[in-house]
Amino acid sequence: MATMIQSIRRSALGLGLFAVITGGTIAVTQALTNERIAEQAARAEAKALFEIIPESAHNNDMLRDTLVLPAGDRLATEGPVTVWVARQDGRPVGMIMPAVAPDGYSGAIKLLVGIDLEGTVLGVRVIDHKETPGLGDRIETRKSDWVKDFEGRSLGNPAPKQWNVKKNGGAFDQFTGATITPRAVVKAVQKTLIYSRKNQQIIRSRLNRTPTGQGPDVTPGDLTNESLNLEQS
């Protein structure tokens, strides 16, 4: 009997030790993995910023020249909105705003939308999504040029009711076998433009302030430029 109890205790101790070691290993691995994922996401975001407004179009440190704007449900983001500012010789020439299309086929689609001071789209990039490979993932520039059709667009180009895919009477192409994904992105870009117009006064006021060169880091470590893939109002 005593031998059996000792055996059970040893087994319990062994299982407990195994659980502790396994749990610790998983926690450490997860922490290291999360850090790497965050860094990769930040690098992808920084790369997208310079695709939307290339270095030839600005000469400030856009990664650190930021401003905070009021929260807006049209952007589907939580809390105040931090945007990146592009300046040429101190003069603001555009900004890049984060936006979310909450109604993608497989969940939320995160975007960056570049807008100039007149409300014209400078560029759009998708920085995170879970859309179907081979179908909805054509919103990525490495899969197609579809997202580049937003360049030069504004709330009046096309007309408000045409901010939709062609299947629904809009001006934008849909994908073969996938309509939900492009429609969600189109609506998100339109809402971003509406937000920009509704907050134009505060945006212009804050853009024209003398830049401090200080802003929240968007990339871990020391990333530089060179280190860098609807509704009506």
d(CA 150, CA 172) in angstroms, rounded, equals 9
**56 burial type by CB count under 10 A (0-12 exposed, 13-18 middle, 19+ buried):** exposed
Query: Residue 45 has what pLDDT?
Result: 79
Query: Residue 228 has what pLDDT?
Result: 33
Q: Whole-number mean pLDDT of the chain? A: 81
Query: Residue 46 has what pLDDT?
Result: 83
Q: Does position 211 have pLDDT exceeding 90, yes or no?
A: no
98 band by pLDDT with thresholds 50, 70 and 90: very high
| Dihedral sign (CA 193, 196, 199, 204) | negative
Alpha-carbon 184 to chain mean position:
14
Average pLDDT over residues 132-160: 96
Max Cα separation, the chain? 86
d(CA 200, CA 193) in angstroms, rounded, equals 10
**39 burial type by CB count under 10 A (0-12 exposed, 13-18 middle, 19+ buried):** middle
Q: Does position 91 have pLDDT exceeding 70, yes or no?
A: yes
Distances in whole angstroms, Cα of residue 143 to Cα of each of 42, 112, 149, 168: 21, 17, 14, 24
Asked if 117 and 201 count as a contact pair (C-beta separation under 8 A), the reply is: no
> How crowded is residue 45: how many other Cβ atoms within 10 Å of its Cβ?
22
Looking at per-residue pLDDT, the higher value among 77 and 167 belongs to 167
Strand partners, 86: 94
- Give which of 72, 122, 125, 75 is closest to 102, Cα–Cα: 75
Average pLDDT over residues 189-216: 81
207 band by pLDDT with thresholds 50, 70 and 90: confident
Query: Residue 221 has what pLDDT?
Result: 32
State pTM to two decimals.
0.75
Percent of the chain with pLDDT over 90: 59
Percent of the chain with pLDDT over 70: 70
d(CA 54, CA 38) in angstroms, rounded, equals 23
Q: Does position 131 have pLDDT exceeding 90, yes or no?
A: yes
Q: Write out the two tokens for 99.
A: 């936006």
Query: Residue 139 has what pLDDT?
Result: 97
Strand partners, 23: none
> How crowded is residue 15: how many other Cβ atoms within 10 Å of its Cβ?
10
36 band by pLDDT with thresholds 50, 70 and 90: low
Q: Token match 């998983």: residue? A: 26
